[in-house]
Every structure is written in C-alpha cells, then in structure tokens.
Structure 1
C-alpha cells in the first residue's frame, strides 16, 4: 500500500521510528526505575543498621550486639531482610537467617559500603551491602553485611513496567497523529503543485511561479521551463504549418490554372484528375492547419454560446445552402461553451455548415446541461448517415485526412477540438430525421 503513496510512506516511517524510540525509552526508564528503588532499599538498610552498629562490641573476637534493628522482618525466618556481623572468632546474625548465613566475602572495603548481588539462603537472590568496620582502634575489624531479597522488588518493577508501557503506547498514538498532521502540512504545497500543473495542462500560458517553499523551487522551476519550451515548440510548429500552407498556395494555384487550360482544351479526364488532386491537397492542408490550431487550444476558458451561434447562423444564412433552410436555436442566454471564442467558432462553424449543406428545411442547435455534463447538439432533417457511415465518418475524422465530399473534415475538426478540451463527440440519428452531432463536456470540477 505504501509504495504508491508518499504520504503513507512518510507516516509509516514516522510511526516505526517513534515506536522504536519509545521501546528504547521503555527499557531506559525501567532500568532507571530499578536503579532508583534499589538505592531506596540501600538507604533503608543503612537506616536499619544504625542501632546495631551503635551497640556492637567484640568479646574475645566474637561480635556481640547490644541492640538489633527494629524492623520485624529481621525476626521472621526467611523474611527477606537479613543482617550478619562476622568476626575473627565467630559471627552473629538476624533471626531471619535462622540456621543459615550470608555468603561471607574474603575482604570488604572499610571506607564505604560495597553493594553486590549474590545467592543467599532459602534460594533467594539477595542485594548485599557489606563493609569492614573497626569497633575500637586496636581491635580487629568485623564485616557487617545487610541482605535484601530482590524478589520483593519484582511486583513494583512489573507494575511500573506495565504502566509505563501503557503510557508510552498512548504517547505513540499522540505522536503518530502529530506525525500525520505534520506530513499533511508538509505535503500540502505538493497538492498546490498538482493543481497548478493541471491548470498548466489546460492553459499553456499559465505558469507555476515562485509562490512555493524553497525545497520545491527546483521542481516548479523545471516545470515552468518545460512549459516554456513546450509553448515555444507549439508556436514554432504552428508557424511552420502556416508557412507550409502559404507556400503551397502558389503551386496549387498553378495546378488549378493547368486544370482550367486542360478543361478548355477538351482534356476533361485530365482536368478532373487534377481537380481531384488539388481538392485532396487542400483538404490535407486545411486538416493540418486545423490540427496545429487545435494543439494550441487552452482549457479553462469559456464563451457565451448564444451570441456566437446567432452570429454564425447569420453568416451561414447568406450562403446558398443557408438561404433555403431555417435554424432553430434552443439555448439559454447564460449557457457557455468550455472554449475560447475563436475555438468555439472553429468547432461550431463546421458543424453548422455541414448541417446546412445536408438539411432539407431545418437545422436545430441546442445547448443543455444533463447530469454532470454540458451537451451541444446540432441536428438536421437531411438524409443523415446509417450506422456504418457514421462509424466511417468518425474514422475519417480521426485521420483528419479525408478529402471526400460529406461530413469528414468538419467532423474531424470538431472532434479534435472537443477532445482537446476533455470533451467527446458522438454521431446519432436526429429526431428530425437526419444526422445529429452531440458534443459532451464534463462540467467544471
């Protein structure tokens, strides 16, 4: 799942990193807590041993205790709290040791208490504190040992570990949510880049600009440079196509003159062949110019449809085909087409001309909004096309190279203009009886 999403990869990485850090924190905190409670035990043992040390004496090398620690655990056999004093001739111990003894070291420091762990009586693991103490200046030192059963600390350590684990789990959730919010804020500029790139796709003159964080500046700068290069290439291509079309006008005019002279001389078959070739070349040139024009169509623009339709109809009505038919326009005054004015005229013009040329009495133009689409419909009451012919017309339009009489080139121009603005062109039978051309565009998001 995370392969296709940078957001999920960042969030997953942050979640794993936070989890590892919190696990390490759990180990560190439990280790610190264990050290803390052991130091508390050491302090407690030192407090307990003071009465014993205050009245401790040696009698013929054997320690004698004047008073004992007050903690009752010293009086309970295997109670977990022990003391032992060892001299050269013998040793005394707490009742809690019963008939056992603490492991006596060979030597003990005299300037401080030494703390170590050792196996004690009754199968217990003990925390031992031991020190060599000289009771009188000329007497031999005795070794004082204090023992604490480490098993007594296990419940507190486990409870702390559980509570700390629960706390760190909750902390992980909070930090994961914070990481999710941080990733969202960090990636928000990329969403803006996506929106601006979409705007750039619709309008070649648009640019991303400098309104992005420094980290995105190389990306946005490269995109703008690519857009500049693309626009320059399109302009050069359009100029070359226009130059080619103008350059071919003179040869075509010469060929037309040759055809006229051949026809005057009675070579009708040769003249017809020349006229057919000239028509094919002109259709190819017109198609190529239309393709170049379409490549520069910009999305994101719109034109109020009704004035444009009325203007085109007024022009067509002045032609021989337009004089004999009537036009029906069904369009709201506020209806728009998602093209610039010139592009809309280039799309509507061929459709209206084709319909007027093939209609008997009526051409109907309508613009409607259906569900999430805007629909332009141009239909006529002419002979129309059957299903096979409509499919062939679409195929010819896809090539933009048909020189045949009929709908081909006009439909080709309209189709490519529609597709250049995310629309689609469909041919159907008109309710009037002839051909109906429908162009659908998705409504703006």
Structure 2
C-alpha cells in the first residue's frame, strides 16, 4: 500500500478543494454574467419597441404608418443585426425596417393588445420582443397591430464566450498562484514536524539526548512525552547498570565468606553454621533489593491514573488485620479525585512499605494525607511512634539500615520506596510528625500537562 506524506495529503486535498471552489466560482460568475447580459438585452428591446411606437403615425386613411427610415441607423442598414416589423390583423406584414431585406420574423406568436412577449427561433440566433397595440382610425374602427423588434444574438454570444475565456484564464492563473502559496504555507506549517523527525534521528544516532527545539502549542504535549520517554529510558539503562554493579559488588563479601567456609575441611560448627545462614540471608536481601531497583527503573509517567484513596483504604484494612492487637486508630484524609499517574504495582509497593512502617512502629495512631500543590502530588504518612532523630534521617534510607533491630524486617523497605519515587522524578523526605512520631513525605510530579 502506497503511503503518502502529510504534506502530500494536505496538498492534494487542498488542491482538490481549491479547484472545485474556483471551478464552481467560475460557473456561477459566468451564469450571473449571462443572466445580466440577457436582462440588459431585453431592456434594450423594450426601449426599441417604445421608440418604434413613438415613431408611428397615421396615414391619410387613419391607419398606422411608420417612416421608411428610423432614427436608429442600425434599423436602416441591411443585415445590421437589428430588425423591426409591424404586422396587421391576420398576420400580414404592413411594414418592415430597411435592415430586414430578405428576412421574416415568422417565429413570432400572436400577441394581444397591451401585452408584450419575448420570442426566440429554434436555432436560437435571434431574440425578439412583440408588443400588441390597438389602433383606432378616423371612423373609430379599431385595428390590432403587433410591433416587433429582433436582435441578432451572435455578438452577444461572442461577448459571453470572450468573457468566459477571460474569466477562466484569470481563475486558472489565480489557482496556480494559490497552489504555490498553499504549498509554501503547508511546508512552513509542517516545519516543526520535520524538525521533530530530524531531532529524533539525531537522538537515535547518539548526537543528541533530548528534543530541544521550540515547538508550537499543538506539538508541546507530543514533544514533552517523547522527552519523558527518553529520560525514563536513559534512567532505566543507568539503573540497570548500577543495579548489576551494586549486585556484583554486594555479593563479593558474602561469597568470600561462603567460599572460606566451604574450603574448610572439618565440618561446620554451630557458630559457623549461623554465620553461613546469616550470609545466605544477606545475599537474599541484596538480590531482592537489586531486583526491586531494576524493576523500578523501567517505570513511566505515561500510564493512566490510579485512584489513590481506594488503594490506601485497601492497604489500611489489611494492616488492621495484621496488627489487630495494637488497635491502631487511622485517619485517611485523601480526596476521591486524586490520582497517581504511574504503575499500580509501584503505588502498592510505595504505600505498602510506608503504611507497614507506620502500623509497625506507631503506638496507636496513624494519619495519612494527600493533595496537590504546585503541580505535584504530595503524600504524608504520620504515626505516633518513637520517630526518627534528625541526625539519623538519611541513615534509615540506606539499604539494610534499621534503627530498631528488635522488630522483624530486612531494612530495605524505605530504600526501595526511595528508588521507585526517584524513578518517577519525585522525592522522599523524613521529618517529625505532630503526632509525636515520624512523618514520611512523598512529592511526585503529576501527569504531563495536557492543555495544548
């Protein structure tokens, strides 16, 4: 199947529309000119009839009579294209103009006195008008006459043909000029799309990293989303490399310990067996953490929104069952309209870790709030637990670091949350809550602006 460019499609469609419009315009103008010329000709015939009637006189017998020569010289010149005749009752010709040598207006229809009619022969070469009059002689006898004037249409048709040729010649020239202007306008209008294609080719070849041009409002959403995809793809590659590097580096020490234990000839003592189990557990934690980081690296902000409140309520109900003996009093102050623009699994991972920490370390109260501010989604999870000292806020975000070693856990929850949040271009911060415990705050960018 042949594929046409946008420029070619628009140019073909616009050309067809322009050709149709100009052709229709030409036909309308031609018909209007023809109608106007025909109306003017009929008015001219009417004026000639009135002139002929004004020249009529009575002869000695009281009958209608006209001079041999009329005041309009065109009626006095043979084959001039202007003809006049007067016919009496019974259709006999009583008078003809000098121009009607060898001609007869036999196509005229009877015209009653006081009426006028227009006539045209079958070949259409003449247009005539007839006017019926009733002439009273000296003896008060009335005689009906029909005065007729005819015009040769050949000059009129030639004039219309000349007008048509001139009209379509000018319309053709105007259409070519408009097509040229139209092509230039389309080329100029589609320049931003060609620029996008050139910049994407530069990105593909490695000469550039982002779309950097200034684009019209209609393309802003497209270019912003493309840049967002590029940024996430670059971040994903970097995080995969970092995760693999961290995984390899983190496993060196546990593997060395295991290798040392494996090389020993005597069987393992209980202490050495405990060391072995501890190293295996550490390796499992490291692998789980790095896999979480690798998964978080592939996130994108172009997914549809996930309702925030139902997810919070579902997690809260589950945690109420897990920590039933604590009887945690929870407050969820979140609007039903708030959306998280990302993967639902990421949202569950983020909120699951934060709420689990709040239920785990809080004494009896947990408060969750969320809202929009400055184009970002803000989420706060507070508890009334022991809190986090300011000098150790950064330490708890480190992999495997926990302030309370007595409660079960691997110490990688907040680290995973931070990795996922950063993958979305957000931030995670720790502070003291008004409830007396910790206040974990998330700030995530909202979806790409869609008001183009």
User: Could you say which TM-score interval applies, normalised by the shorter chain?
Assistant: 0.3 to 0.5
Higher helix share: 1
TM-score, length basis structure 2: 0.47
TM-score, length basis structure 1: 0.48
